[in-house]
Amino acid sequence: MTSVNSTNRTAQARAAGTPLLAARGITKSFGGVHAVDGVDFEVATGEIVGLVGPNGSGKSTLLGCLSRDIAMDTGRVTFDGVDASRLRTMQVARIGIGRTFQSVRIFPELSVVENAWMGRQWKGVGMLGMMQPPDAATRQRAADLIDLMGFSHLTREYAGNLSGGQMRLLELVMAMMCGPRLVMLDEATSGVNPTLIESLKRYVKVLNEQEQVAFVVVEHNIGFIFSIADRIVVLDDGKVLADGTPDEIQHNQEVIVAYLGA
């Protein structure tokens, strides 16, 4: 385990001038709706970025453009120096970007550990590979992640029998199975009880500190974001309204009026 705190690491990565992920001029419209409207967005190595904004402000669409689940209209995404703008979703996973979705996506009729193994498909194992039993390294990785999330007693349980919160944690396990350097979580605390929200926060921090995984966390739970993020980006109507430390965002008058003030 490393003792380097993530804020220092972020500062170092920024000072080095090499963002892990850099997106420029991202736009995506649905009919007449400019869901994402000229967004620049960066994530440094090992950084935890909170992405917040009112409902419909374009957060999920932006994640979709970055992970290539959604074909953007214009813009460019670079990941670790590689142009990822035109990659397919599978290829994005292979270069080190994992994600979860706003709606839970697990396999309810498979066990917890089988779900974890499914996560490796994003590593490019392919359909044929998925029909083979997982290798020892995959089994070990799945067991370690399940153990980290406090799930060992549920390894053989059907995933469909987990609570909503446990399903969210299982999705994080699945996203981690492709060995990502960046994981994007879309509303991971929705439908999760307060105890499991605290657990989720802890696991994100452990993965961030032990494995230098960067996170983009989309959330309505402002308390969660402010306690975990190194930096917060606020979207409003498809545009970046503010980008700063939690302290800066908390005192930003425009953000207070548009979003936090209520």
Ligand X SMILES: Nc1ncnc2c1ncn2[C@@H]1O[C@H](COP(=O)(O)OP(=O)(O)O)[C@@H](O)[C@H]1O
Chain positions contacting ligand X, by CB under 6 A: 30, 33, 35, 53, 55-61
Tokens 């509303």 sit on residue = 187
103 binds, among ligand X, Mg ion, none (CB under 5 to 8 A by kind): none
Which of residues 57 and 166 has its CB atom nearest to ligand X in the complex? Answer: 57
Do 98 and 105 contact (CB within 8 A), yes or no?
no
Do 109 and 158 contact (CB within 8 A), yes or no?
yes
How far apart, in whole angstroms, are the C-alpha atoms of residue 9 and residue 213? Answer: 11
Judged by CB under 5 A, the residue of 6, 57, 60, 252 near Mg ion is: 60
Which of residues 55 and 132 has its CB atom nearest to ligand X in the complex? Answer: 55
Name the H helices within the chain: 6-16, 59-67, 89-95, 112-118, 126-130, 136-148, 164-176, 194-211, 222-228, 246-250, 253-255
String marking each residue 102-141 x if it binds Mg ion according to CB under 5 A: x---------------------------------------
Q: How far is the CB of 141 from ligand X (least distance, A)?
A: 31
Do 165 and 151 contact (CB within 8 A), yes or no?
no
* Residue of 19, 6, 18 lying closest to 47 (CA atoms): 6
Which of residues 60 and 208 has its CB atom nearest to Mg ion in the complex? Answer: 60
Q: How far is the CB of 238 from ligand X (least distance, A)?
A: 7
Do 53 and 219 contact (CB within 8 A), yes or no?
no
58 binds, among Mg ion, ligand X, none (CB under 5 to 8 A by kind): ligand X
Phi-psi region of 92 (alpha: psi -120 to 50; beta: other; left: phi over 0): alpha
Q: How far is the CB of 250 from Mg ion (least distance, A)?
A: 22
Q: How far is the CB of 164 from ligand X (least distance, A)?
A: 19
Q: How far is the CB of 185 from Mg ion (least distance, A)?
A: 11
Which of residues 45 and 57 has its CB atom nearest to ligand X in the complex? Answer: 57
Which of residues 45 and 60 has its CB atom nearest to ligand X in the complex? Answer: 60
Do 198 and 225 contact (CB within 8 A), yes or no?
no
Can you give the binding site for Mg ion, defined by CB under 5 A?
59-60, 102
